Amino acid sequence: MPKVGIATVPLDYGKCPRWLFERMKRLARGIIFTIVEEFGPLELLFRLSDPIWFQSLGCVLGFDFNSSGLTTTTLGALKEGLRGLEDELGVFVCGGKGKTSRRTPEQIQDWGEFLGLPMEKIDKLVYASKISAKVDSSCLQDLENPFQIYHHNLIFSKSGQWVIVQQGMSPEIQRARRYHWLSVNVKNFVEEPHSGIISDVKINPLNLTAKKSRENKEISTGLVKEEPKTFLRDIRLILKKSNTLIKQRKTPGFTEMELNDVEFHWHPVLREKFDLKRLEKTVFCAHEQNPENFEQLLALKGVGPKTVRALSLVSEIIYGAKPSYEDPARYSFSVGGKDGTPYPVDRKTYDQILDVMEKGIQKSKISNQEKTKAQKRLIESF
């Protein structure tokens, strides 16, 4: 399992040189081919879900160990390296960076139809892609320096198991944060679903994926289902009277809560700028959909980070259901290359590694083919 801790990953706007990327593609192809041939597709998904292993893979391929570009370039090399081998290996890479990330559902659909997968299985893969992006943008929020998802990959096997690796950026602080998901580990999309998170900085986020936030999420859903007008009244009250005594409604199980100036000195509500008209429209639209739980609420169109934040705020301030503000980040480390740390990429050695690995793979493939032919000749001889 990934170890708990923090790793610094600066946001890097640099570009991988073509000579290096071409080699990364070939080496990624060799490594992935070997793992799948030896251990099967599911083992590959397990490894990609581990932020430590993933970071090490990027460094073995020769990229910077401390760059946000390691994520995007490694996944790009993996996708291009496996092009044409997907059906043979049973591993399919969807998505990518920027606009390509938004085409992930379309690419899942295309591969699903190519494989003849049942529509139910395709829909589950598409849903996993969409809801994971919403969770990491709306349920894990750095209120001062939000991380916007800009890279998203879903990699799946023919059996329907999947791994998601996606990354968000915060240009204001020049940092990036990577999120890892593994289907076999996800029991609940909105409660501690990650197999690991690699963090750039220690932050104090709104963390609605924590078990501690369960009551906050339940109340947030109830506010939309049962009383959106009450919620809108309460959010206006909080924004207007943020440093005065606020009394909770006389509801069984709830008590009065005094919010003095000291407490609100640090509370993020002071920096909030909600568009109340837009929020009202979103909440009433969600109310009409009647979501049964927080996950269904989150999956609704139009429900994004600010809506989730506003609901969580009312649940906390008015109803006393505090969410978690603990950072769930994991730890990742390795050594690498592109920018000369710990040393420049040695092209000669890189090419020798590629030559040995590719020849070994070719011999392995020929050997398997010969075994099949030999078995066929043996059967025909009887």
- pLDDT tens digits, residue range 267-285? 455 456 778 899 999 999 9
Residues 197 and 206: their CA atoms lie apart, in Å, by: 15
The rounded mean pLDDT for the chain is 79
Name the residue ranges covered by the structural domains of the chain: 18-206, 212-317
Residue whose C-alpha is closest to residue 71's, from 172, 197, 204, 201: 197
Return the higher-pLDDT residue of 47 and 368. Answer: 47
Average pLDDT of span 347-360: 62
Strand 194-198 to strand 175-182: parallel, antiparallel, or no bridges (unpaired)? antiparallel
Window from 70-84, 211-225, 341-355 with minimum mean pLDDT: 341-355
Residues 243 and 192: their CA atoms lie apart, in Å, by: 33
| Cβ contact 142:114 at 8 Å | no
256: helix, strand or coil: coil
| Cβ contact 110:122 at 8 Å | no
| Cβ contact 259:239 at 8 Å | no
Q: What is the pLDDT of residue 342?
A: 43
- Give the number of other CB atoms < 10 A from CB of residue 143: 17
Per-residue pLDDT band for 292 (boundaries 50, 70, 90) equals very high
- Is residue 52 within a helix (H) or strand (E), and if so which, with residue range? helix 51-60
